[in-house]
Chain A
Amino acid sequence: MIVEIGHIALIMALIVALVQATIPMIGAARGDGRLMAVASTAAGAQWVFIVIAFLSLMNAYVTSDFSVFNVASNSHSAKPMLYKIAGVWGNHEGSLVLWVLILATFGGAIVLFGGNLPPALRARVLSVQALIAVGFLSFSLFTSNPFERVFPAPLDGNGLNPLLQDPGLAFHPPFLYLGYVGFSVAFAFAIAALIEGRVDAAWARWVRPWTLIAWSFLTIGIALGSWWAYYELGWGGWWYWDPVENASFMPWLAGTALLHSAIVCEKRDALKAWTVLLAIVAFSLSLLGTFLVRSGVLTSVHAFATDPARGVFILGFLIFVVGGSLTLFAVRAPLLKAGGLFAPVSREGGIVLNNLLFSAAAATVLLGTLYPLFIDALGAGKVSVGPPYFNTVFIPLMAPLIVLAGIAPMLAWKRADLTGVIARIKIVAAVTVLVLLWSVYRAWGNAVFGAFGIGLSAWLASSVLFDWAVRIRLFRVSALDSLQRAIRIPRAAYGMSLAHFGVALLVAGVTASSAWRTEAIQVMRQGETISVAGFEFLFHGVVRAEGPNYTADRGHFTVTRAGGLVAELWPENRFYPVQQQPTTEAAIHTTWLADLYVVVGDPDGQGGWSTRVYYNPLVPWIWLGAMVMALGGAVSLSDRRHRVGAPNRRRRRLMAGEPAAEVAR
């Protein structure tokens, strides 16, 4: 019964979305306030219906109602509760319901925080949002209904793919979707602005916080996915340039560019058309990501849908959204008059270069990801574009970006004095050179690439710290005075510094773990010891262990260094009888400066086990860096200037002709 209520609620949500997509749009065109007001009511109703649908599906999972086809094929009564809940979005149909739930939640948030938006803009934004909802709701209802029943109900379900039964991955999809769908708000604002033919500083102020939210969540989502790949797939790597990874990375690159260009749009009234275009591109790439991952054109753990009807539907929707919005952009963009002028050497100039580099990077990733699909579609054979392509292309594009990120925040708006800034950053340059020399020395005979990457990281990190020290006049005025200055720096500035510092951590982690990783593969017998990077790994053998829904071969290692105990490690090889599927569970000990990573393979039949031991220097900094970046986003978001709704109040006051000093507050 509850399942049917959920089904009806989903249908109701579609009907409401249809109303919300049309009536307010007509109202905005006619200037009819009553028709426009429908948008807020409809957005609220749509949210309620989708919440009902989502909860009833979750209820079916939690109570293991196997008369629901979706539950029967993706859940199992013996599964731990966390994975029963996470199982809701661990499959194609359920993940779509999560998608629309997040979309409706963003719609509701616009209503909640959008009290100060001009009514026409709000109506249009909500209408565009609803149009996206119509697409996804009908996709869900017509091709991938999660509430379909099965008769007779099976006694037990097929279970969730064991690879996905993992805490890191349980929360990976919601975060990723919060990012993907979050860009729909920027997209809706862009479309609304194109219809109105007007983009101003207030518009940019509105778009920024939503982009920040989406970007922060996407950062966390990607980091969780890569962390999972690191400890679950058992090959010691954390990024493979897999098409599925790229699918989430491309919107991130475009979103990062958008985040920066929106600042120029707000502060300098420039780059308007470009910012609108980036908003369209970021969301289009999110849709493309959803399409690539969900349609089954790519094969991976994510490819749930293999039904061609679904692929055709998403492709059609993708063409409609991307084609439609780009056509609208081509027609209306000339209306967006360019604003302020600026010199190439200025904060804006730096951000333009940042945007060019990010766009180029996104384009190369897109090309590498889609190329095999094109070749295959043309029938010209099967090819794969592997990590070497992406590394050769991506690193040369990112390196100048990091150099830039070290300088640009110190440049003034409008016109800056580059020589002055260079003279000021002598200390930063000195730190960079020192660290570079040190890492060349450490890496003697090893990759120059490593030293170079560490140098870049040091450059960015020291520049962030130096910039902060200059701002608070550290050691030039009294400590108390400095502290007061530190408190007065806006949170948005702290957010930027944190995010850039996070990038520096990430770069250090990426570089060190790729350049100086040590790996040892061997067969070990009980009592044998292997030495890797100065650590002694003593193997105690393998025992059989029982988990809640699996059995495992559990290895045991004692790690010592110079006689002192470092860690006990228990890597596992699990076998899930329901799915008849094995998984590898690496055992990891982290010192925060490095990870010790152990995997047990197969027995050799003579009492030995194949084992793999990695020493991964600085690898935890990758995820630490990503978290610091997301934290930067959150801090920036807490800045009062970013509080949604603020810009409009300001504009109205401007119109009322209040003194400028009052406005600036």
Chain B
Amino acid sequence: MPEPLGLDHTIYQHSPLPGRPDWALPNSEKIAVAVVVYIEDVPDGLPDRENFDPRLWDAFVRLGSASRARALYEYGNNVGVFRILDALDRLGVKPTLAVNSCIPTKRPQLAEHLLGKGFEVAGHNRNAFDYMTSRMGVEGQKTLIDSSLTDLEAWTGERPQGWFSQGFAQSHRTVDLLHDAGVRYFSDYGNDDQPYLVRSEPTLVSVPNQSQWDDVEMMGIRRVPAWEYQDTVIRAFDQLAGESTPESARVFGLHLHPWVAAMPHHIKYVEAALEHIIGTSGVWQAPVGAIAEQFASRSSSPLTIAR
């Protein structure tokens, strides 16, 4: 019998969840919960159609006008985001903000409201049309990553440790470029219930981006009703919490885009799901960066992957 082939790429290694090395949380909690709020905006004009999600093209700009896209982000940034921040504040949630680096200059008032609250800020490309795909040259990708991180650092005073690729879009080189740029975790793949190492020296952790219950994917694109979104989030959370053991914890991410999750007809379902999660015992609620760091620091079997 020949050797197993493994994956058809070397971007990360295959790792079945059963039989993994232990992952215990700081106080033996069952599940690490991260809430990610996306702070995004679009530039003037239309996205590069070759480098953009065709499902969003249909939803936003099919009519040849970027007006709808701008209106959605206007709603998210001027109205919706405050609904979400209120709910998080009420529940004592420490979110991670995944921020397009255009925000501090494009929306200085919003940026001011977000500073000084102790929120983790993570890199999230330059704007919501800025997809990093394999159609972009390597130099362009390096510039994208570097300018995103530098502009956020100029705003907050700290270099972001985390990265959320706009539109889940990566090239074959993205992971190595993020590693080279000093990023310590990224959250782009919906392929796991635990963080895992993808590079070492220094460690780079993939924290799952559980896109099956992403608000844009579910309510924005699939148009699943908001009450089914709530049911989905609660079912997923309860299942994962129920499967965890003291030696093998799970991670749960709730990723919220103000232009979808904070719509007045959506928000109460989002709030109800969050209340359920935060009201469950055995939850370690923390920013994604803290979860990634805790994971990397206790990891007993660092991976090395040929570059």
- Does A pair with B? no
Seen from chain A, the residues whose Cβ lies within 8 Å of a Cβ on chain B are none
Residues of B at the A interface (CB closer than 8 Å) are none
